[in-house]
Structure 1
Amino acid sequence: MSLVTDNNHSEEVKIMRKLHGNLVLEESGFFSKITQKDSQLNKNAAESYYSNWKDAGRLEDNEKDVEQRRYEAQNMTNSFYDLVTDFYEYGWGQSFHFAKLYKGDSFRENINRHEAYLALKLGLKKGMRVLDTGCGVGGPLREVVKASNGAHVTGLNNNAYQIQRCEAYSKKYGLSEYTSFVKGDFTKMPIADQTFDAVFSVEATVHAPRLEQVYGEIFRVLKPGGRFACYEWCTTDMYDESDMSMKKVVHAIEKGNSISKLYTISECLQALKSVGFNVIESEDMGVVDDATNPWYNSLKAPDKGLRGFLRSPSGRAYTNTLLTFLDKFKLVPPGVLATSQLLNGAADNLVAGGEMGIFTPMFFFLVEKPMDA
């Protein structure tokens, strides 16, 4: 069931369908999808995104730029996902996130476990009403439905293309009864107070202009006693913003992933407390131990198989070379090659941030709304 307020005749949905072409609801090949995009609209999306980073090389004094990106965050991130969604599905499948990589397990097994862990920590059961804040194309959402044996999960997303993909996948996998989707800004949710028993988010709330804004809305739509579990992107205690080499890496992560400004772990926890949550537990799940490989191996030394190759340095170079050729002969719309280059730079700096220990994509926390709230 869809809760999208725009119908298929709305102006926004019509533009989305024109931009992405006739394969919006299909699982067609990557190159089929990108070559059929509308050239002018794809160019517009690229220009809209990059306009927020025109002064990105000036690291020593960029607070004005940060505030501008915060102001434009919703439009910026919407343009970003219009550009990158097909790339993400090409390299990652239906779940656009990292995971704790246990030795001996496949990438897909680790990804599914990472998602199911949220259902476990939230104590989800059949019939509970749950919100996925920033649901992408719904990979984690569908895994949580299955891990909970039938909790109903609503996906909230501000990108019309991804909402359409969510609906298509739910129908394909027979999960429409257990899923619904809302198109909307997660800092101004079109959802009534105290609607949900639980909320989760997987590497998505980082796109908010300020974490307090999205955490405050999650607090509002949760029932008293309800819990919120999340994997958040944060800088670690090892990050020193006065170190220009570190700052360059973090800034590149922000630019390559539509993030106005990364919070530190301590700032993240303070943001949760400031809106009223009680913190039950928190942990950087990106820390490597004897049983795991570094999370950034998903990009540096991934599993065997086609998608593993496509995420690897060699696979990314292969894709970029092919797109360079297609771009030269105008066989792909303007902005496609630039998107490939943006994501390659993001991948390189995510690995660098992980190796330096200054960044984690999986700061896990479990918080609760007080019963008397």
Structure 2
Amino acid sequence: MGITSTMKRVRDSVLSKERSREDLKIGIAGFYDRSSKLWEDVWGEHMHHGYYVPEDRTDHIQAQIDLIDEVLKWANVTEATSVVDVGCGIGGSSRHIARKFGCQARGITLSPYQANRGNELAKEQGLSDSTSFQVADALDQPFGDNSFDLVWSLESGEHMPDKKKFVDELFRVAMPGGRIIIVTWCHRDLEEGETGLSKKEEKLLAKINRAYYLPRWCSVQDYVDLLEAKGAKDIKREDWSYIIAPFWKAVIKSSLNLRSVWGLMRSGFSTVRGAYAMLLMLRGFKVGLIKFGLITCTKPTS
């Protein structure tokens, strides 16, 4: 990379400039290629937040597993035969759901490291026949129409630069009558009369976006509106920000131990910047700007 290109990246980072869709794809893949091993070494195979009820629980890895089960319970999912995990990480959710329901699960991610590691773990856990992982774009999924009776997206929607296309693809691959679950970070719903977030709020989100390779945010209500426009049935939404809140402090604390600091240094600048951005996320949550939103619906049978 030349000096001019490096200077441009530094300038864009300082100014929190918004990235193009192609830059986001490249950045997301690289970010998770570099950071996933460190996360797994510290937190295990589940690359998402935990379920903290009661809020003082300290079994963080079990809390991550419980989040999957509690989201499924919340969405009234008691069985499945074929699942797609959109933004699968290293496949923790896919393997857990495959074991839970005895079903087939496919996972997609932009990160080659994550897809390879997901398949390695599936083999180690005796799940190669029921789970598989591949590199693919959530906005252009490599699956046929009406393929899955459970479409699962846990903490990946925030990476999608085109939320309408994202919802369109989730709908397309879902079977008629199939369940769609989106769990994602959103900004707060706009109040009546507001046309957008404040400049201060936008500035905070822009800084987070640069660190985590995120596009512009949307609200939970925006997702509901998109689903209603698709004719979705049984739409349900909820804010679980308070339920996952203790996980932020646990992750930040874990990043300060010697092992994690050394891992951060070895993982490169973008991973270090991502660790710093956790403090920005915590600030956004505390002021009510950032929400941990749950949205679910079923695809019409006709």
Give the residue type in structure 2 aligned to 1:297: P
TM-score (norm 1): 0.70
Q: Which moved more, 1:94-103 or 1:188-197?
A: 94-103
Q: Which residue of 2 aligns with 1:32?
A: none
Aligned residues of 1:53 and 1:255 also touching (Cα < 8 A): no
Instruction: From 109, 129, 132, give the equivalent of 1:177.
Output: 129
Aligned residues of 1:279 and 1:368 also touching (Cα < 8 A): yes
Whole-angstrom CA distance in 1 between matches of 2:231 and 2:154: 21
Are 1:299 and 2:239 counterparts?
Answer: no
Are 1:123 and 2:108 counterparts?
Answer: no
Q: Which residue of 1 aligns with 2:293?
A: 363
Alpha-carbon distance change, 211 to 53 in structure 1, aligned in 2, over 3 angstroms: farther
Instruction: From 247, 267, 270, give the equivalent of 1:339.
Output: 270
Instruction: From 258, 279, 288, give the equivalent of 2:213.
Output: 258
Are 1:160 and 2:109 counterparts?
Answer: no
Query: Residue 109 of structure 1: CA displacement?
Result: 2.4
Whole-angstrom CA distance in 1 between matches of 2:72 and 2:260: 37
Instruction: From 183, 186, 200, give the equivalent of 1:231.
Output: 183
Whole-angstrom CA distance in 1 between matches of 2:79 and 2:240: 24
Are 1:86 and 2:40 counterparts?
Answer: no
SS in 2 for 1:312: helix
Q: Which moved more, 1:50-59 or 1:95-104?
A: 50-59
1:226-253 CA-partner distances (Å, limit 9, x unpaired): 1101211101137973242x33322222
Are 1:242 and 2:198 counterparts?
Answer: yes
Instruction: From 207, 210, 213, give the equivalent of 2:165.
Output: 213
Instruction: From 240, 246, 257, give the equivalent of 1:285.
Output: 240
SS in 2 for 1:112: helix
Alpha-carbon distance change, 119 to 252 in structure 1, aligned in 2, over 3 angstroms: same
Query: Residue 102 of structure 1: CA displacement?
Result: 1.5
Q: Structure 2: any 5+ residue segments left out of the alignment?
A: none
SS in 2 for 1:55: helix
Are 1:97 and 2:48 counterparts?
Answer: yes
Are 1:110 and 2:41 counterparts?
Answer: no
Are 1:151 and 2:106 counterparts?
Answer: no
Q: Structure 1: any 5+ residue segments left out of the alignment?
A: 1-42, 60-64, 303-310
Whole-angstrom CA distance in 1 between matches of 2:124 and 2:189: 43
Are 1:55 and 2:12 counterparts?
Answer: yes
Q: Which residue of 1 aligns with 2:86?
A: 133
Percent sequence identity over aligned pairs: 22
Structure of larger gyration radius: 1
Cα RMSD for the two superposed structures: 2.8
SS in 2 for 1:96: coil
SS in 1 for 2:12: coil
Aligned residues of 2:50 and 2:64 also touching (Cα < 8 A): yes
Whole-angstrom CA distance in 2 between matches of 1:187 and 1:177: 26
TM-score (norm 2): 0.85
